[in-house]
Amino acid sequence: MQQRDKLFINGNWVAPHASGQIEVIQSSDESVMGTIPEGHARDAEDAIAAARAAFDGWAATPVAVRVGYLRKIAEGLKDRTEELATLIAREVGMPLKLARAIQVGGPVYNWGQAARLLEQFEFESQVGNSLVVREPVGVVAAITPWNFPLNQITLKVAPALAAGCTVVLKPSEVAPLNAFVLAEVIEAAGLPPGVFNLVTGYGPVVGEVLASHPEVDMVSFTGSTRAGKRVSELAAQSVKRVALELGGKSASVILDDADFAQAVKGTVNACFLNSGQTCSAHTRMLVPRARYDEVRELARKAVAGFTVGDPLTDSAKLGPLVSAAQKQRVVSYIHRGIDEGAELVAGGPENPDGLDRGFYVRPTVLGNVDPKATVAQEEIFGPVLSIICYDSEDDAVRIANDSIYGLGGGVWSGDEDRALRVARRLRTGQVDINGGPFNMNAPFGGFKQSGNGREGGVYGIEEFLEYKALQRRQQ
């Protein structure tokens, strides 16, 4: 059991202003695996003050020096891969093999890539008689979620530091222990005091201070659309820059000329990754009405391959959900889908066999789902796939775009040019063509209520920079 009782502020591990503790629950067996400080508003204020005091010096630090720090952090995380993979598998529930590759491998890559991109980044350009320069936005508050905890932290903190910003991080209290390991790695790398600060606690206390404080120049938030709206409201009072990566209800559009066996299997995999706890999960599978019976059987077969179990064992392909509240939420959506007329193709609301302890849910497929049904419109954040029938290509595009969200999606077709044409019509930030793999250097972010701003690659660094134009008299 890990007992963390200090926060990392101004380069030191300091006692919080209050004595409250938050329990961290292991998702596979519901045991208490650790505790963290329940941060106070004054802790957040101290961290902001430290970040503000450190900003001028860090912003003026030569690029080559910042690159060196980023590389040290990448190496420090890589050295602790096994510890972090096990920790996140216990916190979140992702099977250990996947956690090692995705939950830790992704952050290690992205810290290193931030260093590589920073070396090549052009901070100045000449436009007529203007010297256009890019400068760091200032003090950044990073508020991060629990589903890919270390990677979502990395996609904010690494590019912000690369840009020359200082950071106050508030990780999710549901999966926070990995953030303390990152703070230890940053401390060991010798980052100047105040450049990175860690404050844990609840959103309505610590998060609201970070979003509203006048000395914070930017808030980068990943989480629910509801919470993102609240962050925006608070940040608007001081006209901060706000980057939001919010919910999704991504559609996988299987066109009539697709390889259906490949497309259905690929969609199921894209829906169930991390037990469906992925904002860009392909949770709506759109199929030609005439092919529904074929799709139903292919989906049932694909789901049968998802062995549910303890994420620390080699046999589990699907682990538990992160918490009791999340399990209750997902099960209630399964019930509602059936009540609203969907066909239960696979899974269901009952506990998986032999798994009465832990936050496990059966991987579930609901068939013949009405495009306006609750399960077709609201984000479930669990292993639940809705099969929706369409009558024509135009109808498929209409249904795919009939959502308040626009984060991810997919198009499957035997004709790649056709797939690209359909993909261009989807109002969403990212579209996978015939199962194209995730590209960590491409921009990631959403349209509509999936948020604004982009993370990943050079686009992530640009998010934390301001433009300044210096006009000179022409000779």
What distance in Å separates the CA atoms of residue 94 and residue 257, rounded to the nearest whole number?
34
Read off the tokens for 127: 């436009």
Radius of gyration (Cα) for the chain, nearest Å? 23
Q: CB of 164 within 8 A of CB of 59? A: yes
343 among known catalytic residues: no
The length of the chain in residues reads: 475
Checking DSSP bridges between strand 364-367 and strand 409-412, what pairing results, if any? unpaired
SS3 456: coil
Q: Which of 38, 45, 173, 245 is labelled catalytic? A: 245
Per the DSSP assignment, residues forming a β-bridge with 168 are 141, 197
Q: Which of 165, 271, 279, 389 is labelled catalytic? A: 279
Read off the tokens for 392: 């024509």
What distance in Å separates the CA atoms of residue 321 and residue 93, rounded to the nearest whole number?
6
Q: Token pair 């929706």 is at which residue?
A: 388
CA 395 centroid distance within chain: 30
Q: CB of 14 within 8 A of CB of 29? A: no
CA 457 centroid distance within chain: 15
124 among known catalytic residues: no
Q: CB of 401 within 8 A of CB of 359? A: no
Give, in order, the Cα–Cα distances in Å from 267 to each of 91, 235, 323, 352, 439: 26, 37, 25, 22, 17
Which residues are part of the catalytic machinery?
245, 279
